[in-house]
Structure 1
Amino acid sequence: MPREKIKFALRISPETQQLVKEMCPRDNCRTQNEFIERAIRFYAGYVSGQEATAYLPPALASVLRGTVQDTENRICRLLFKLAVELDMVMNVLAAGMEISDDALRSLRGRCVQNVKKTSGSITLDKAVEYQRGGV
């Protein structure tokens, strides 16, 4: 059973009517009416999307802000745990090693330069190699 359609007057420019005639077959529409109805539905969706953009950016920003905040909190907790473990390792090493203040200052300077040079990508293997007299 076909849906009931209403009839109303529509005034369009000759250029628009020519465009409808040209585009109707390209859109596989059997009639100009069908093409115009599809075009109206498409445009209505576009306009609705325009209204949604007034809501979406603040909502999206809020979601992103929450995600970034959660990630930041997680990273801070992990960095805190890492700092605790590093402090424990340093204290264990300090208790078992006899190192002069000058040697410690020199080592700190070398380590700062090494971290800068490698962008923090340092390994125990490289440190052992250096301590054994390697480069």
Structure 2
Amino acid sequence: MSKKEKFPLYLTPEKKALLERRYPEDGSRSLTAFIENAIDFYLDYLSANNAGLFLPTSVQSYLDGRLDQLENRISSLLFKQAVELDMGLSTLVDCVQLGEEYLKQQRAESVANVKRTNGRLRLEEKVRDANGSDDEWQD
């Protein structure tokens, strides 16, 4: 066993009491051993620079599986949304002739609207804005 150096460690009385009460939980025989284990763990964590290395394999596997399911679900929903949008735009193009300049102006307005509303657009609000009405829609 290597020689140890003593140095002052300042803690609040509450933190010291908590340490004294809980240090045996990890099998440490003293506060010094507990603090050394905690320092070793944190230094290893900093060296690894990846908290995933400290997760149990079963937890990591579960999280990966759930994230894969979420990714598949979101991908499927985005594909369906893109299909519906394409159908709507194709129908609109078949019915209405729109000029290039109008489309550029509309795109700029749409970008501004999405930014302003953080993407929470409602058809009722667009109709109300187009009609210049201040009446609230009933939900």
- The two structures have a TM-score, normalised by structure 2, of 0.53
1:71 maps to 70
Q: Secondary structure at the match of 1:98?
A: coil
Give the deviation of 1:133 after TM superposition: 4.5
Matched residues in 1 for 2:116 and 2:59: separation? 38
1:88 maps to 87
2:105 maps to 106
Q: Secondary structure at the match of 1:92?
A: helix
Matched residues in 1 for 2:120 and 2:55: separation? 40
Give the deviation of 1:56 after TM superposition: 6.7
1:28 maps to none
Matched residues in 2 for 1:133 and 1:95: separation? 28
**Amino acid across the alignment from 1:112:** V
Give the deviation of 1:125 after TM superposition: 1.1
Give the deviation of 1:123 after TM superposition: 0.8
1:128 maps to 127
Identity of matched residues, %: 36
2:118 maps to 119
**Amino acid across the alignment from 1:123:** R
Tell me, which stretches of 5 or more residues in structure 1 are unaligned?
A: 1-42, 48-54
Matched pairs, number: 86
Deviations 1:37-87 (A, max 9, x none): xxxxxx8x966xxxxxxx972210110111011111111011001100011
Give the deviation of 1:130 after TM superposition: 3.0
